[in-house]
Structure 1
Amino acid sequence: MKFSKTKKAAIVVVGIFAFAISFYGFKQDDKNFQIAKNLDIYYTLFRELNLFYVDDVDPTKLVKTSIDKMLESLDPYTNFIPEDDIEDFRFMTTGEYAGIGALISKQKGKILIAEPYEGFPAQKSGLKAGDVLLEVAGKSTEKLSTEDVSALLKGPANKAVVVKVQRYGQKKPMDVEIMREKIQIDPVPYYGMLDSETGYIRLSNFTENCTERVKMALIELKEKHGAKTLVLDLRSNPGGLLIEAVRIANLFVPKGQEIVSTRGKVKQWDKVYTATESPIDTIMPIAVLVNRGSASASEIVAGAIQDLDRGMIIGTRTFGKGLVQTTRDLSYNAKLKITTAKYYIPSGRCIQALDYTHRNEDGSVGIVPDSLISKFKTKKGRIVFDGGGVAPDLTVEDETLSNLATNLVTGSLIFDFATYYNSKTEKIASPEEFVITPEIYADFIQFVKGQDFKYESKTESELDNLLEVAKREKYYDISKDEFENLKLKLGHNLDQDLEHFKKEISELLADEIVSRYYYQKGAIKAALRDDSDVTKALDILHKPDGYAAIFDSGRIIKAN
């Protein structure tokens, strides 16, 4: 007898739940009875949906949705990984995949190359940022998502894929054959000297063996360039492997020093992680840069450096992700990434923000109620607090873009102008020297005006809301003239705003244009010139007394 796909799935589900029920039938305690009871309810509900729902249902999608919603009720980091997503999961931990080595995005309904990685197949084959992908392997991208196109671009190493691209300023599309390679994303996209004494290392992810890259950079900065102080940039680093965080902290603290511990339900899994190797440097003054995007392993490194008074932390409060995930194998090659413990840094405080009701829009720590905060002490007696994330020793608030600049970025005007500029300019000055001249900015203004760009300031948006409320509550007619005069005064003028916000827009333009010629390393170099966190770090590192004062035992470190 043959069965349909949905009936086969139902039979499998019957077998699974029948086993579960028989197993739990031997247990008499109420908890296991409740498990068996609810598994049975789930199966009968699934069966009835499959048999009687008005439209055809996809059993795999239904079960995946139910699993995702179930896990979502626990915490944001316990996830189901079906077999189809295993490669993406592996890339997150290793930073390695086989493909063309380029970041793609969807802008204005088109899939395009957002950034080709220097030295990888896409760049070596001549693809540029801004190239529109019309076809991949003979398949049109018109109705595909970025995930679909990414899957087409990936494949076995040493096997070619042909893409059809439309380049800005060229009438005819062109076919480009790209030989896929094993792509290993460098976790240290840039390191170098900020001045004659201060080294700089940007770590973007805690992937496998990233410590070796940081160690190599640190040794080179010290021995070849004479670095006497260091800025370690962990901003927007989402974390990764716990053991790599321990190993990186170990570069700066003595062997045997506790760096982090984990504690959870399964006590035999509890563990204390200590520095197991001889450090590279335990004396060099260090500034660790963090922001709201610094999470998990980043917070372990920053938190350990702070708790051990090994260096100063500069920026904003970190994300507040202090939960340990363990990967468990499931049937049919699926996996469960499950939260099994919490991180505790040397002072004894937990990184995790347990209160999800006060999170920022991006999920990072927002305002932490005093009732959820406990006091701890660093090695030298400074007072620090838990409640979620690592509060910096010196706070430098993230610079908020104007509404105009935000709209220029989200509307792809900055990106598109860089594509246009690159199409007509063969070369530019070095990343350290390139600037947006008055001529370039005037060209940008004309470019924006030619794109039918429209935007509304936040002030105008809020005023529109006020007018709606006033009309609804019948106050508008009483003060109509005042309302209209206010609307005229607060109305934006594109020419005036482009001039008023010229500095921040020029910085965005410079970073994007530099990336077209010098790729990611060049963009980082350009951005460092006007980096307020780096400026603050250099100011303190250059003042021995100021740096020493950071570790005064009377200091209280708290940020909300």
Structure 2
Amino acid sequence: MKKMIFTSLFTLILIFSLTTLTDVHQSQSALASSNSFQDKLEIFQLILDTIQQRYVDEYSKDELLEYAINGMLSKLDPHTSYLPVDNFKRWNKNFEGFQGLGIQYIFIDNAPTITGFISGSPAKEAGANTGDRIIEIDDLDAKNLSRLELAEIINNSPHPVLTMKVWRPSANEMRTFKIRRTHLNLKSVQTKTMLQNAVGYIHIDRLCSNTVYELDAAMELLSRQGMRSLVIDLRDNGGGYLSSAVEVADRFLPPGKLIVYTMGKDPASYQEYVSSRSSMFSEIPLTILINHGTASAAEIVAGALQDWDRALIVGETSFGKGLVQSQYRFRDGSALLVTTAKYYTPLGRLIQRNYYDCTKDEYYYDAYDEESHRPELQAQNGETFVTPRGRKVFGGGGIAPDVWMKNNASIVSDELLDLYLNHNEEVLKFALKLLYKRPFLSKKTAEELDASIFITEAEMHDFKTLIGNFSNNYSPNFFERNKKDIQFLLRREVGYLSHGSDGRFSIAKTRDTQLYTAIENQRKAVSLVQYQLSHLSREKTE
């Protein structure tokens, strides 16, 4: 992306504290001097009670305890964290799935309006369409429901079958569906398609228990379509399960190759993960796309395949999160994610960036700082390692790409990016109106959308009027200066509403400089796999 938005993280807040002591209270059970752990706990209890009883504002014990827990963890690494019950449920959805109807929606005129479906959606199977406005659900007026109330009904209703009444603007009619709630897993493989020159493309956005099976299915599909080389897109993949990362790397490595090892202060934390099966995809030239948002388990995949000269890495230096998070669940449904070890690539490269000499805000800011993570700077400042083929790779701060390329953002100007982020639902509403006028798109494949979606001058004028309603923050010539990019943005959103992530990719790829760099460097990927195969051949004859 052209720019990652972290404005709220990096605003410097100066707090000037004025303390007025009106009186001093001596607790009868206060301890004058104490160093024992048990006494410290007693002091903590006294402080908790005093704040709850005497503090000027009202706080519950639960709130105060949560603040105390977070304060303690804030002194550790940036990734050790406590997740209260609701937060843990949301976090867990990404990896273990959830009960629901599999719909994505926004509110238009207070009515929940479907904008997309999760793979396996029972609502989609029942006949619901993008653009349908939910009028009633479970005999309740949907217009009177908040987002939280609607989510509660969809995800936690005691009724296994929900009745959903919708208004379909494209057909000007009401429809009623009976939909059985089911367990849904969020897809790991978001897009799988063929690009130019027989290059296959697979986008993996998380590493879950089902990722390797989705990868196998995608590989089989693309192989039948004539794939001769492969690009795996791990950009903005924040990681997931270690076991899933090992399984994905295992698909491309011969047996007996170290994929990753973990090491911490406890000797029991040392563990090696080694490829264990005959490589299913040993002969396919492989390129992996990474960026500053590629983290954790995704970095394990990229690092292992780079260390063994199995894949060409293209893009930007990855995030640099190489901490092993162990999960401890509590009886109330909350959980602690605590760092117990660090990840190292097969050559011994530490994936984790330094976090000791900076604040948490500085730590996250640094991950997306373009200039500080150029490969040539890592070569100067980081430890250098040499692969079996003799290539230099670097440690101590994420995975540095073999071919560096900054991604030109699909939305070029900062002010247009600002408009999109701050008025995303309004943009989607407008895109839905454009979709209603193009019923023929439902008969197109995702690959055909780029040549099928055009925005008329009248529609652009309507969008210009819409921008004027947002605010007066945009300069008078904002529309003319950003016209081509606005057309691109609207085409991309119509593609998404029509064909989901495949449709969005069909439009977005036309401006993806990192992807085109990967395609242009296929000869390097071919050279790597040829080296790998010749090396394996020599091993077999010895």
Structure-1-length-normalised TM-score: 0.76
Matched, 1:537 2:538: no
Q: 1:425 aligns with which of 438, 449, 458?
A: 438
- CA deviation string 1:350-378 (max 9, x = no partner): 11112355545495466368796322222
Moved more, 536-545 or 178-187: 536-545
Matched, 1:449 2:460: no
Moved more, 343-352 or 517-526: 517-526
* 1:375 aligned counterpart, secondary structure: strand
Matched, 1:513 2:494: yes
CA RMSD of aligned residues (A): 3.7
Matched, 1:385 2:385: no
Q: Which residue of 2 aligns with 1:528?
A: 509
Query: Is the 8 Å Cα contact of residues 287 and 525 (structure 2) preserved in structure 1?
Result: no
- CA deviation string 1:472-517 (max 9, x = no partner): xxxxxxxxxxxxxxxxxxx641442243xx0x33332222112222
Letter in 2 for 1:383: K
Query: Is the 8 Å Cα contact of residues 347 and 379 (structure 1) preserved in structure 2?
Result: no
Query: Is the 8 Å Cα contact of residues 101 and 183 (structure 1) preserved in structure 2?
Result: yes
Query: Is the 8 Å Cα contact of residues 200 and 228 (structure 2) preserved in structure 1?
Result: yes
Moved more, 210-219 or 314-323: 210-219
2: distance between equivalents of 1:169 and 1:519? 18
Letter in 1 for 2:417: T
In structure 2, relative to structure 1, the CA distance for the partners of 1:532 and 1:279 (3 Å cut) is: same
In structure 2, relative to structure 1, the CA distance for the partners of 1:362 and 1:139 (3 Å cut) is: farther
Q: Which residue of 2 aligns with 1:465?
A: none
Query: Is the 8 Å Cα contact of residues 450 and 507 (structure 2) preserved in structure 1?
Result: no
Q: 2:429 aligns with which of 402, 416, 421?
A: 416
Moved more, 161-170 or 337-346: 161-170
Query: Is the 8 Å Cα contact of residues 318 and 365 (structure 1) preserved in structure 2?
Result: no
2: distance between equivalents of 1:172 and 1:42? 63
Structure 1: segments with no counterpart, 5+ residues:
1-29, 462-490, 552-560
Query: Is the 8 Å Cα contact of residues 237 and 295 (structure 1) preserved in structure 2?
Result: yes
* 1:453 aligned counterpart, secondary structure: helix
Letter in 2 for 1:320: G
In structure 2, relative to structure 1, the CA distance for the partners of 1:241 and 1:118 (3 Å cut) is: closer
Structure 2: segments with no counterpart, 5+ residues:
1-32, 533-542
2: distance between equivalents of 1:516 and 1:335? 36
Q: Which residue of 2 aligns with 1:200?
A: 201
Tell me by how many angstroms 1:156 deviates.
6.1
In structure 2, relative to structure 1, the CA distance for the partners of 1:214 and 1:171 (3 Å cut) is: closer
Q: Which residue of 1 aligns with 2:281?
A: 281
Aligned length: 484
Letter in 1 for 2:68: S
Tell me by how many angstroms 1:431 deviates.
2.8
2: distance between equivalents of 1:233 and 1:58? 46
In structure 2, relative to structure 1, the CA distance for the partners of 1:62 and 1:129 (3 Å cut) is: farther
- Larger relative CO (CA 8 A, sep 6+): 1 or 2? 2
* 2:458 aligned counterpart, secondary structure: helix
2: distance between equivalents of 1:196 and 1:545? 13
Q: Which residue of 1 aligns with 2:538?
A: none
* 1:190 aligned counterpart, secondary structure: strand
2: distance between equivalents of 1:528 and 1:220? 20
Tell me by how many angstroms 1:550 deviates.
12
* 2:466 aligned counterpart, secondary structure: coil
Q: Which residue of 2 aligns with 1:555?
A: none
Tell me by how many angstroms 1:176 deviates.
5.9
Query: Is the 8 Å Cα contact of residues 202 and 233 (structure 1) preserved in structure 2?
Result: yes
- CA deviation string 1:293-352 (max 9, x = no partner): 211111000111111111101111111111111112434443211111111001211111
Within 5 Å, which residues of 2 pair with 1:96-245?
Answer: 96-104=97-105, 112-117=113-118, 119-129=120-130, 137=138, 138=140, 144=146, 146=147, 149-155=150-156, 159-162=160-163, 177-195=178-196, 197-222=198-223, 224-245=224-245
Tell me by how many angstroms 1:141 deviates.
6.7
2: distance between equivalents of 1:164 and 1:362? 49
Query: Is the 8 Å Cα contact of residues 235 and 290 (structure 2) preserved in structure 1?
Result: yes
Structure-2-length-normalised TM-score: 0.78
